[in-house]
Amino acid sequence: MPQDDMTNAAAERSAQAEIQASKPLPQPNLSATQPADVYSIESLVPSGLLTLHKIPVQDWQAAIAASEGITTSSRFVANRVEAAVQSGDKTVVQLLRFILILIEFSRSLKRSPGRGLDSRKLPPREDLRRILSTAVDSETNTTPTITDSFLDSIRRKFVPQGSFLSRNDITLLHTTICAMSLHIPPASGKTGGSNVSELATDPADLRDDLRLENDTILKYFRELGCKVDKPRESEFAKWSIKGGKAEAASRRIARLKIPVEFPKMSRGRAPRR
């Protein structure tokens, strides 16, 4: 690549990085050469893999090995846990359980009179610990997962004001969950091989779990740099589409590819003369 082109590309990445840094979104690695590195698992989880590797998943693994069903409060998790376990990647299974923790965290937030319609209040500390523990505790997990340090790592990342979340804080929470979901294989378990050229997910289950409007969650994925489109005919099995083109027309898939393309910023209308 000519020197001028390299300089221009670096300047564009720098300008885009500044734009993204001003938004309540997880920060992308714009130098990534693989989709999985744009929003790496380690960068998304508070305190990184140190936190993630503390999450127990033996109960899920044992249940799948015994062909037993797993019931959770999340449609996204329940529909993907079998594929995640069967992938053989323990980190992916732990990430799926961490997504469940964050979904419960989001659901625990309540409106607080006097602080605006868009702000939310965190439950008291011990109530929050109890709520989040429902996502990880089981008869086989005898050691508490939601320790003080675990709880504090989540609060530092998503509740910088201490006990209240602003609209931007909530957007960061939801978009972080969206970015995490791109690393989870679909319910079919079909990922397209080890050298994947894109990360992709069907946002519908996550939309329902987070109680968001469809347009809102699709906007979140576009803000993360995903292209949102209908599933391709060659992907019908991957996305469990059994109703053919008619069903596919109503479904949307969010795809993250390299190079990442973010929504163009509106420059507004030109002034009248």
> Per-residue confidence at 10, pLDDT binned at 50, 70, 90?
low
| pTM of the shown model | 0.89
Q: Which of 59, 58, 57, 96 is nearest to 79 (CA)?
A: 96
The pLDDT of residue 100 is above 70? yes
Close Cβ partners of 145 (under 8 Å, ≥ 6 residues apart): 54, 55, 56, 133, 136, 137
pLDDT in tens, 21-73: 778 999 999 999 999 999 999 999 999 999 999 999 999 999 999 999 999 99
pLDDT(16) > 90: no
Higher pLDDT, 77 or 188: 77
Average pLDDT over residues 149-161: 94
Token output for 177 = 């969950």
Residue 143 pLDDT greater than 50, yes or no: yes
Residue range 9-32: average pLDDT? Answer: 77
pLDDT digits (tens, 9 = 90+) for 250-273: 999 999 999 999 998 655 454 444
Q: Which one has a higher pLDDT value, 68 or 18?
A: 68
Which of 65-74, 119-128, 222-231, 263-272 is the least confident region?
263-272
Looking at residue 138, its pLDDT comes to: 75
pLDDT at position 193? 41
Q: Are 256 and 224 in contact (CB under 8 A)?
A: yes
**Mean pLDDT (whole number) for 13-19:** 65
Does residue 231 have a cis peptide bond before it, meaning omega lies within 30 degrees of 0? no
CA distances from 187 to 1, 104, 215, 259 (A): 41, 21, 23, 27
Question: What's the chain's average pLDDT?
Answer: 89
Q: In 10 A of CB 207, how many CB atoms?
A: 21
Whether the predicted pLDDT of 192 surpasses 50: no
